[in-house]
Amino acid sequence: MKKGKVNKRVLIYDEEGLTKLASKIKEVRGNKGYTQEDLAYESGLSLSQVARIETIKINPTVSTIFKIARTLDVQVSDLFDFKLSKKAK
Amino acid sequence: MKKGKVNKRVLIYDEEGLTKLASKIKEVRGNKGYTQEDLAYESGLSLSQVARIETIKINPTVSTIFKIARTLDVQVSDLFDFKLSKKAK
DNA sequence: ATTCATTATAGCATACGTGCTATAATTTAA
DNA sequence: TTAAATTATAGCACGTATGCTATAATGAAT
């Protein structure tokens, strides 16, 4: 055991889902002819945040995704229109 | 794009979307015969977190929703199967 | 009313999501 | 190539999502 802190928190970071979500957002944004800056400005999000989401650097909150969906004028479910692999049991 | 207008820091908390998401999760969880504790245990989330989501106390991250979807064995898009009102422009 | 199960609330510590400002890297246009 | 547009990265401050532990409220069962 390492010295110092012991209880390291297991972080919730679903790489598969975040990767697929990022692809969806990029896809829809591109299809609408929006730049990251367009999306950021119209949604009220920061440009850095949009970039971080699309490059899978963070695990955004659902309200952030709601803002993106509203701005891109798609259903939220459209941004989650992919399948996750089954969890291990 | 448009510049010169500073983005005001606004709390990101989409009450409408979070309320509908909470309803969906409760609905699906109930239909599967899961208690909050079942869902928490199997997903690896804390019971308090599940309760906070269902009572709309927090704005969860998407990875948290991915865990719930996997545990309830539904598509993520099923948990977002609702419409948001159009954004004001 | 009394148990039992389930759901909701509360306080704390800590990791991290987010906005902001800058800068770098990459892509596109000329 | 050069310049411009677009995307990506980085560090900081602040608020919050999350786990944990515990307790309280609610509901169901008759």
pLDDT digits (tens, 9 = 90+) for A12-21: 789 999 999 9
Instruction: Report the first-to-last Cα separation within chain B, whole angstroms.
Output: 16
Residue closest to D8 C1′ by Cα? A51
**B18-75 in CATH: which number?**
1.10.260.40
This prediction has a pTM of 0.90
Across the interface, whether the CB atoms of A63 and B21 are under 8 A apart is answered: no
Across the interface, whether the CB atoms of A76 and B82 are under 8 A apart is answered: yes
Q: What gap in Å lies between CA A57 and CA A48, rounded to an integer? A: 11
Q: What gap in Å lies between CA B72 and CA B68, rounded to an integer? A: 6
Across the interface, whether the CB atoms of A12 and B65 are under 8 A apart is answered: no
Domain boundaries, chain B: 18-75
pLDDT per position as a tens digit, A10-66:
567 899 999 999 999 999 999 999 999 999 999 999 999 999 999 999 999 999 999
Provide the H-helix boundaries in chain A: 15-31, 36-43, 47-54, 62-72, 76-79
When the pLDDT of each residue in chain B is averaged and rounded to a whole number, the result is 88
Architecture of A16-79 per CATH?
Answer: Orthogonal Bundle (1.10)
DSSP reduced 3-state for B61: strand
A88 touches B: beta carbon within 8 Å: no
Mutate to test the interface with B, among A20, A24, A80 (most CBs of B within 10 A): A80
